[in-house]
Amino acid sequence: MSIEDRVETGDSAVHYDSSPEMFELLLDKNMNYSSGIYFTGDENLDLAQIQKMDRVAQICGFQEGQTLLDMGCGWSGPARYYAEHYKMNVIGYTLSPVQREFAMEKARERGIADRLDIRVCSVLDAELEPESVDHVIFFESIIHMWEKLDLFRMCHRALRPSGMLFVQESNYDRNSNTDKFRGDRGFQLVDEVFGNTATMVSTGEMIRLMEEAEFLPCYTENISNHYKRTLEQWCNRIDQHSDAMSAAEPEFFPDFRKYMMMALATYRQEGTVCHMTAGQKSPNDWALRNPLRF
């Protein structure tokens, strides 16, 4: 289906229902589809993604036996990593049955299927018991969702006292850019095809929404340079494996390639930033119980 046809039918699900084969050629070995973290800039994608997941675990204080909610879990790279290496019980939400099937097969291979519960369901319809989870993560998924405040309130109810809400996302660098970019035809086209720009907010607005949902914001870090490096490595892989990726997804690949190049170009200009932002449900003891060492 061409880019124009998908705009016509509003079919943006094709992005995440694409074959694992194409994404296996693009992503790291854990299949993380979000920014990594680099300490030197020379790390390969596998290491950068592990560093990101460990850093988030350190920021939030993940512990063995805790329950983690992964909202928009993709191919479940983070969900499987935390289930395997942190021995957490992870509930992941995705809209894609292809992603769930992939994730559960990998989990069975690693012997962690009993700690992983991947649900094909919109996070908006998630049924969560009050005070039933310890942490919630949104790794580059909340951009797809208009209902951020409702979701944050849902997370607040589902979290136990002192629970952490963690969001990693591409945001506008300032609130005043929101209308300017939302009106841009290029942004609208990407949104219609890939479903991920119209609902973008600024980092300030993301924090304001957390506060409105009763979270106490406790951590913010601008990781734009890390996301640019991740995008560069993804684009290099596209160049390296273009024939195989095209064979895996002949109709989608040309548009996908353009999309990735556009994303990298966006991160080479001003206007878009990638932030890690975390808030805590009261009682707010995050700063006291986390003598951070980084």
Ligand X SMILES: C[S@@+](CC[C@H](N)C(=O)[O-])C[C@H]1O[C@@H](n2cnc3c(N)ncnc32)[C@H](O)[C@@H]1O
Using CB under 6 A, list all residues that contact ligand X: 16, 32-34, 72-74, 77-78, 93-96, 99, 122-124, 139-141, 144-145
- Residue closer to ligand X by CB (options 9, 282) is 9
In the complex, the smallest distance separating the C-beta of residue 78 from ligand X, rounded to whole angstroms, is 5
- Residue closer to ligand X by CB (options 151, 245) is 151
Give CA angle at 78 (279, 25), nearest 5°.
Answer: 135
In the complex, the smallest distance separating the C-beta of residue 170 from ligand X, rounded to whole angstroms, is 10
In the complex, the smallest distance separating the C-beta of residue 13 from ligand X, rounded to whole angstroms, is 8
Count of CB atoms situated within 10 Å of the CB of 236: 11
Residue indicated by tokens 């340079």:
225
**CA–CA gap between residue 268 and residue 105 (Å, rounded):** 37
- Residue closer to ligand X by CB (options 20, 74) is 74
In the complex, the smallest distance separating the C-beta of residue 36 from ligand X, rounded to whole angstroms, is 10
The pair of three-digit structure tokens given for residue 100, joined into one six-digit string: 């769930």
In the complex, the smallest distance separating the C-beta of residue 15 from ligand X, rounded to whole angstroms, is 8
Residues 6+ apart with CB under 8 A from 200: 143, 170, 171, 172, 178, 181, 182, 272
- Please identify the residue of the shown chain whose CB is closest to the bound ligand X: 74
> SS in 3 state form for 17-58?
CCCHHHHHHHCCCCCCCCCCCCCCCCCCHHHHHHHHHHHHHH
Name the 3-class secondary structure at 251. coil
The pair of three-digit structure tokens given for residue 132, joined into one six-digit string: 């039933």
- Residue closer to ligand X by CB (options 123, 210) is 123
- Residue closer to ligand X by CB (options 67, 94) is 94
In the complex, the smallest distance separating the C-beta of residue 221 from ligand X, rounded to whole angstroms, is 16
The pair of three-digit structure tokens given for residue 246, joined into one six-digit string: 């095209």
- Residue closer to ligand X by CB (options 79, 213) is 79
The pair of three-digit structure tokens given for residue 185, joined into one six-digit string: 């035809």
Residues 6+ apart with CB under 8 A from 203: 171, 172, 173, 220, 222, 273, 275, 277
- Residue closer to ligand X by CB (options 215, 227) is 227
Terminal-to-terminal C-alpha distance of the chain: 47
In the complex, the smallest distance separating the C-beta of residue 140 from ligand X, rounded to whole angstroms, is 4
In the complex, the smallest distance separating the C-beta of residue 86 from ligand X, rounded to whole angstroms, is 16
**CA–CA gap between residue 39 and residue 78 (Å, rounded):** 19
- Residue closer to ligand X by CB (options 128, 216) is 128
Residue indicated by tokens 């693009």:
26
